[in-house]
Amino acid sequence: MGKINLKEKRNMSMLMDFYELTMSNAYLSKGLKDKVVYFDMFFRKVPEQGGFAIMAGLKQLTEYIEGLKFDEADIEYLRSLNIFNEEFLEYLRNFKFTGSIYSVKEGTPIFPNEPIITVKAPIIEAQLIETMILLTINHQSLIATKANRIARAAKGIPILEFGARRSQGYDGSIYGARAAYIGGAQGTATAIAGEVFGIPVFGTMAHSWIQLFEDEYEAFKAYAESYPDSCTLLVDTYSVLESGVPNAIKVAKEVLEPMGKRLKGVRLDSGDMAYLSRKTRKMLDEAGLNDCNIVASNSLDEYTITSLLNQGAKIDVFGVGERLVTSKAEPVFGGVYKLVAVEDNEGKPIPRIKLSENVEKVSNPGFKKVYRLFNKENDTAIADIITMADEVIDDTNPYTIFDPVYTWKKKKLTNYYAVELQIPIFEDGVKVYKSPSLKEIKHYCEEEVNKLWEEVRRFENPHTYYVDLSKKLWNTKRELIERLREEN
């Protein structure tokens, strides 16, 4: 763990949409503050038409909720707006989250319309944490998903996150590096991410180092003398093949080898990467530097990496920048937070539903659970089943899954086992979850992705993974839709 704790540096409790405060003020004035409700956070579409996404950001969310409080400066600011009553301001002054939260674990492959996070809490508490749930999970899940795509495209070649200077602000860089590591990056160039999260950090040199010296050889020589155990040289400042690689080889022979050291790598940051890497590899091998890595950077993503490998590029490490840390091709993860149930006077959750002319925006009502069903023979994921919270899938008996839209499409499963995806994070305001280490989350992510069929993992026209409803949930949803259509 790093030496500093980012959550201690500032109070983020007011990072919320203003309507959360105005609604909460009205809830209180209408005597509704103790009304217990259930919210689901879920998403509707996988970025870039992919087969799945990766859940990330849970640790930061738990830290936020643990530290959620309104200080006197917050209270005075809200009072100055002249729209909040004093009873509500006093409520905020003494605020503490007392609800329960259930979540899918970080690193888990996730699919559209299934609950990622479920909140059970008094209405004001559940409402006030809406923005931070969405902000935290949306951002890190987006970057973890992109990193996983890039890592899979690299086919085992390490990728490093190099995007801080073009990320969307400070937090985008710091937490983007964390999410990228979960998704499959082997390290980062962002120093603070190494300090805070323990992510391996990597860095070589900029063109400015080489330009400072009278000639390229002297620049390489000075760097090798400074870092003989970890020397990687940037070879494209002037000419990769005519000066950069020859000077790197010269330094390896004249400076490093007399010290008993080896040149660790050369970096290409421009030009035709496929052509240059092949020529560079040949030159290095002919010089006896077979163990010298070739690092490639400059506007890479899963598509350019796939193209480079298909062209026979000789690259040992990919440094991936802005297209990773901003998820440039699709920079929004469309997670939403919807009310799905309200407790009655006996404490029973009564399902609620959001209707829409757009079918994909009709929510799944009620307090629910999510099960993932795996094939017992090879541990491959078969389908996810969303059930009501009081349902249990008994995997000792056959189970029939069906398409929730085309209900005649059915499949009877026998040789399977069921795993409940959500776990308790807070129970009655007490955190009961201990986050694994970042390395453990990363390893778990890799394992779980490998349990998906290859057809789900492919980039082009991936197979649509089954996310089905239990019969009880499907009936509840259908009955609610029919009743609301009749009443309205």
Among 265, 264, 267, 277, smallest CA distance to 308 is for 277
Q: How many residues in the chain?
A: 488
Structure tokens, 422:
């959500």
The whole-number average pLDDT for the span 340-352 is 96
Region 253-273: mean pLDDT is 97
Backbone phi and psi for residue 59, each to the nearest 5 degrees, phi listed first? -60, -45
pLDDT band, residue 2 (cuts 50/70/90): very low
pLDDT of residue 449 exceeding 90, the answer is yes
Q: According to the model, what pLDDT value does residue 4 have?
A: 53
Which of 416, 399, 414 minimizes the C-alpha distance to 468?
Answer: 399
CA-based nearest residue to 54, from 253, 335, 420: 335
Q: How confident is the model at residue 38 (pLDDT cuts 50, 70, 90)?
A: very high
Residue spans of beta strands (DSSP E) within 344-397: 349-351, 368-375, 381-388
**Regarding beta strands 399-402 and 410-413, do their DSSP bridges make them parallel or antiparallel, or are they unpaired?**
antiparallel
Q: What span, in angstroms and rounded, lies between the C-alpha atoms of 462 and 446?
A: 19
**What are the structural domains, with CATH classification, of the chain?**
6-143+331-487 (3.20.140.10), 154-325 (3.20.20.70)
Question: Is the whole model's pTM more than 0.85, yes or no?
Answer: yes
pLDDT at 7 over 60: no
Q: What is the pLDDT of residue 12?
A: 87
Per-residue pLDDT tens digits for 72-83: 999 999 999 999
Round to whole Å and give the CA distance between 31 and 7: 33
Q: Are the C-beta atoms of residues 132 and 335 closer than 8 Å to each other?
A: no
Inter-helix orientation angle 130-153/438-449, to 10°: 60
